Structure formats: structure tokens, C-alpha cells
Structure 1
Amino acid sequence: MTLRCIILDDYQNVALTQAGWSILKPAVEITALHNPILQQDRLVELLVDADILVIMRERTPITAALLSRLPKLKLLVTSGMRNAAVDLPAAKAQGVTVCGTGSGSDAPVELTWALILGLARHLTVENRSIRNSGPWQSTLGIGLKGKTLGLIGLGKIGQRMALIAQAFGMKVTAWSQNLTAERAAEFNVELAESKQALLNNSDFVSLHLVLSDRSRGIISAQDLAAMKSTAFLINTSRSGLVDQAALVEALNHRQIAGAGLDVFDHEPLPDNHPYRHLPNVLATPHLGYVTDDNYGIYFNEAIEDIQAFIAGQPVREL
């Protein structure tokens, strides 16, 4: 019997060219869907005959309600080894095997620096001016050398952030609830006395935490008020780390200089959302892991997951 596999949210229409899917034929018939499907009934209509779903991390929520309407589903493969948008207990209760893939950390680090540099040198403003025959040089850039980068979180990505900041000649401080001075010192990073101290003294604050009950809302209105009026907030991790209403308010009133954002509560971002229009926001559509290298990892390991499942020996189970 041929299994039907559907790849969701292949926004760039590249999934089928990034890996050797033909190795699964004729046992598996593969279809890729390219557009976000926001209407639940339409999503069920498209997925109801799927035996296997391959999803990109946190693009389409796989909820208990959705799973209950997909009785044929046997295997769910997600990019990465963590996906907060999948209801794992519901999947297991329904007998759906859930597997992950590897994921490189270089891509989100690189995008975070793209946002920092874009904000510091007003790249969107100046590029728009050139394209529209506007003023030749209208902004004053901010040099990074001698500035302070404050990292909320010093895990795998935070450590790479620190290394690159030091190459720019920046001072790096870090804070998280469990971070010790000894651990920070391993990466030539100064442990901030408190979150408040880090926010008070940083020129750029970059968030690199896993979203959990403990970290949700870790940047509140009070925290934003503690930042310098000349400072920038960068979030390429998860939108839930920040009180979004408070951030919009702070940006509207120029309480901070600006924000570089790659993650949002609702994706795609609604057309009328303030982040689409605020002049002090540099936003990208959740591109942190979207590189050829990472897609190669995701889809090749998705194929391995499918092969292993068919052989009765699932790998990388979540």
C-alpha cells in the first residue's frame, strides 16, 4: 500500500529539490504545499488522507483538535528536535509517531547579526532612499566597537553571538536565571549582576532562550523601561519571550531606539500589525533557520525518519 506524505509550509517551493525524495518511491507518494493554510477546515480537507506529515517547526500548529480530524495520520516529522506547536501528548494518545531532525545553529546567529547591523547602519532607510531617488545619506550610523551587547541566554546560539561580538570589539555581558560567572567566563563574557543591570547598561539586547513557562514574558514593560533610550532589542528566538503590547508601546513612544524582530505571535504577520509600519522596527518573516544548509539537514533527515518508520525502527523520536 502506498503511503501518502504531505510536506506543509514549503514557502520557498524548494523542499522537493533539497533532498533525494525519490528514494522513497514507490512506497511513498509525496506532495508539497507552499502557502500558509490558516482556515482549519481547509487544512483538514487537504490533510485528511495523509499518512505522513512533514512540517517546518512552528509554522502550522498541530493541535489536539487538528489531530483528532486526521485519523489516517501515522507519522509526523518536524524540523528540529523541539516543536512547541505540536501537541505531543495528543499525538501519542492517537498513536502518531513524532520524529525530529538535526538543525544547525549558524543560520540564526547570522540572521541576528544581520538585524543588528541593519539597525545600527539604518540599511533599510538608506536603501529605500537610493531606490526612490531620495536624499544621499540621511542617517548617522552607530558603530559597534566599544558598545555593549547584552545576551539574555548564553546557550549554543548565545555563545556564538558572544564570539562574533568580541570580533567587532564589543563588550559582552550575559544573564539568565541559571547562568553562573564561571560559565560566562568560559566565553570571555561578563555575568551581569541581574537582568535589570544588563538592560540598564546594554546598547543591544539580544534574546536567546527557549520559550517555557519560566521564560515567557521575561521582557516586560518594566524591563523595556529599564533599557537605554538609545538601545535596541533583538529577538530571533520566540515572540512569547517579550510582552508584545508593551514592546509596541515602547517603540511607538521611542522609549527604546528600535527593535530587530524575526518572530511573532501570529505568523504570517497580519497586514495591519504595527510591526509592518513602525519606522524603528527591522522585521524579517521568521527567517532564522531558513538557509540552504539547514533545509538540506531538515529534509534529508526527514527522509531518514520516514525510512526508519517504514522499517519499524523509528529514529529521533520526540
Structure 2
Amino acid sequence: MSKTILVTGPDLDPSAAQLVADRGYQTVHTPPYADSAVISDYLQQTGAEGIVSRMGRLDAAVMDAAPQLKVISKHGVGVDNIDIQAAAERGIPVLVATGANAVSVAEHAIALLLAAVKRILPLDAGLRAGRWEKPGFSGHEIAESTMGLMGMGAIAQATGRMAKGLGLHLLGYDPYAPDSAFEELGVTRCETVEDLLAGSDILSLHCPLTEQTRRLLNAESIAQMPKGAYVINTARGGLIDEAALVAAIQSGHLAGAGLDTFASEPPAADHPFFAVPEIVLTPHIGGVTRQAGARVGVDAVRGIFQILDGQPVAPERIINRKLLAAAQAEPAKMEK
């Protein structure tokens, strides 16, 4: 047995690394955004029993190259880089660090919102270039506007709490969230995506990327939003049809956007977003703070050891728990 935890990326908070060392294990890191072949090589060379998934895709081929692999623990909550069905078929639980980075990502969502609406970046650039653009300037006040939350998980709820402090009204859509998630924040629950879009002066995306939600925000859905609305995305870039978003801003239907994620990361040097000054961009770092990094890293590592030790894990942290149950039930059916 190899007492190794593989981290698919260059960083792990020192508190999480110390937890690994205290258990007599070592961490080995892949390069950032390593492809499946490189990750497979690292798994074979190290014999790692657990993975802290940060960057790079973990697919069936990676898992088949590592029969000793017992658990995958996401450094965060987005698992679109992990084939959770393949993991379930191989009896590998996939864990998420639910809520551990919620405050940091929510703060970033609000920062992107304010930067985009208040036109902070072009005004800063103009001033540095010698322009005093106060004459003729007309800004926009966000108080009393309506923010729509697409998804009502921990990050959305944290974003909503902060948005209320800015005087925003809140709408929300999430067919899987209990009524209590809406009621505790005073969020008006929308029964359809269309209702949320039509009522959102600011649309903040907080849903996972699945085949059902891929390009959820496209030309047709954007057209349902009010003229002059803004889009904020701290979730996954694949939720947005990027060409449609650019077209909507250039046509004047949308006023701007604040985006922390891209459909493909890192983006190409000639990505169309870079030519649109109304879009504020950051490199998927909303949850990358010292405080969130410590909480997420420790949660990810602790979950690995809970699985390795046969200890119980909170059901909501096992993102493929239903798929695991189904995969385990199938052989039982065949035996009857």
C-alpha cells in the first residue's frame, strides 16, 4: 500500500498538507492543468489511494490506470472535470467540500458585479491614460434592482445575503432546493427558468455544469432578460454560450458581465471576451483565498481519510452517492 495522496495541481494549503503528514502520508502534485495521460502516469508511479482534484480531467481511463484508487475528493464543489458515473461504476466515491469556499466566492461575485456596473476598469484605465471623464458621465445605482440567483446552494445563499446588504431584491430558481433555502433569505422562488430570467436585472449563476445546464444562457434565454441587465458567473464557464453573450452586449441588450470562469480554461489569447470592455474578467480565482483554501483543503483531505478509514461521511458530501447505490444494486439484481 502506497501512503500517497495525489493533488492534481500545484497548491494545497499548509494546514491540509500537515494533516496528510500527520497521518504518515505524503502529497505528490501534478503540473497545473495536466491532461488525463499525465495524471494516469502520476497515479501509476505513486500508487496513490486518494486524489485531491483541482485541475485536469479525471475520466474512466485515469481510473482504470489506477486500480488502487479508493476515493476522489474535489477541492471545491464543481465536479464537471470528474466522470462521476465512471467513478461510481468502479466503486469510487467522489466527495465535495460543500460550503467551504462559499464566502470567498460570494464576495468575488459581488466584486465582479460592482466592477462591471460601476465601470471601474475602464474608468481607471482612462484616468491612467490622462483622461478626466467626469463631464458627461452617468453611472448606475444598483439599490432596488433585482438579482436572480440561478441555483440556491451555499454560494448562492452567501451571495444573496451580501446582495441584500446592498439593497437588492432577490429571486431564485432551483428545483432541488428546499423551500427553507429561499424563505431564510427572503428570496422569491421562481417556478421556471423563464420567470427568473424575465425578472433579473442582475443574473448570478450558481448551478453545476451538467449536460442539462450546458449553455443554459444562450441567445434565446438572454433575449428573455430585461434590456440593460448584467450577468455574473462564478460557477462554470460552460453554462454560457460565450458567442451569444458577446453578441448580446455588443447589441446593447445586456449592459455587461462579470465572469470568473470560461468554457475552456485557460482561455485562448484571442478569446472574444478580451475585446469587450463591458466584461470584467478574472482567472477562476473566486474561491482562491487563504481562508477558503484552508477550509477546502482540510475538508478535501479529511474526507479522503474518512473513506480510507471506513468512517462515515456526510451524505451530501458524496456527490455520486445515488450512482454508487445504483451501481452496487445492479450486481445484486443479476445474482437473483
- Give yes or no for TM over 0.5: yes
Distance 1:160 1:101 in 2: 15
* Corresponding residue for residue 134 of structure 1: 130
* Corresponding residue for residue 29 of structure 1: 26
Shift of 1:82: 6.0
Shift of 1:185: 5.2
AA aligned opposite 2:300:
A
Deviating more after overlay: 279-288 vs 171-180 = 171-180
Matched, 1:304 2:302: yes
Shift of 1:246: 1.9
Contact 2:4–2:26 (8 Å) recurs in 1: yes
2:276 aligns to what SS in structure 1? coil
Distance 1:19 1:44 in 2: 23
Matched, 1:125 2:134: no
User: Percent same amino acid among aligned pairs?
Assistant: 27
CA deviation vs aligned residue, 1:275-298 (integer Å, no higher than 9, x gap): 233212112222232222221122
1:240 aligns to what SS in structure 2? helix
Report matched runs for 1:163-174 at 5 Å. 163-174=161-172
Deviating more after overlay: 198-207 vs 19-28 = 19-28
Distance 1:302 1:162 in 2: 26
* Corresponding residue for residue 200 of structure 2: 202
TM-score between both structures, scaled by the size of structure 2: 0.77
Distance 1:274 1:164 in 2: 31
Distance 1:208 1:260 in 2: 13
Q: Which has the higher contact order (CA 8 A, sep 6+)?
A: 2
Deviating more after overlay: 221-230 vs 20-29 = 20-29
Q: Structure 1's 309 and 260: CA in aligned 2 closer, same or farther, altered over 3 A?
A: same
Contact 1:232–1:258 (8 Å) recurs in 2: yes
Matched, 1:73 2:69: yes
Report matched runs for 1:182-193 at 5 Å. 184=182, 186-191=184-189
Distance 1:95 1:181 in 2: 33
Q: Structure 1's 117 and 16: CA in aligned 2 closer, same or farther, altered over 3 A?
A: closer
Report matched runs for 1:119-268 at 5 Å. 119-130=116-127, 132-137=128-133, 140-177=138-175, 184=182, 186-191=184-189, 195-268=193-266
* Corresponding residue for residue 7 of structure 2: 7
* Corresponding residue for residue 103 of structure 1: 99
AA aligned opposite 2:291:
D
Shift of 1:250: 1.8
Contact 2:151–2:207 (8 Å) recurs in 1: yes
Q: Structure 1's 112 and 2: CA in aligned 2 closer, same or farther, altered over 3 A?
A: same
Q: Structure 1's 16 and 259: CA in aligned 2 closer, same or farther, altered over 3 A?
A: closer
User: RMSD across aligned C-alpha pairs, in angstroms?
Assistant: 3.3
The count of residues paired between Structure 1 and Structure 2 equals 312
Contact 2:72–2:304 (8 Å) recurs in 1: no
Contact 2:30–2:42 (8 Å) recurs in 1: no
Contact 1:2–1:26 (8 Å) recurs in 2: no
CA deviation vs aligned residue, 1:37-75 (integer Å, no higher than 9, x gap): 24x433433443231343345x32101122223345344
AA aligned opposite 1:135:
R
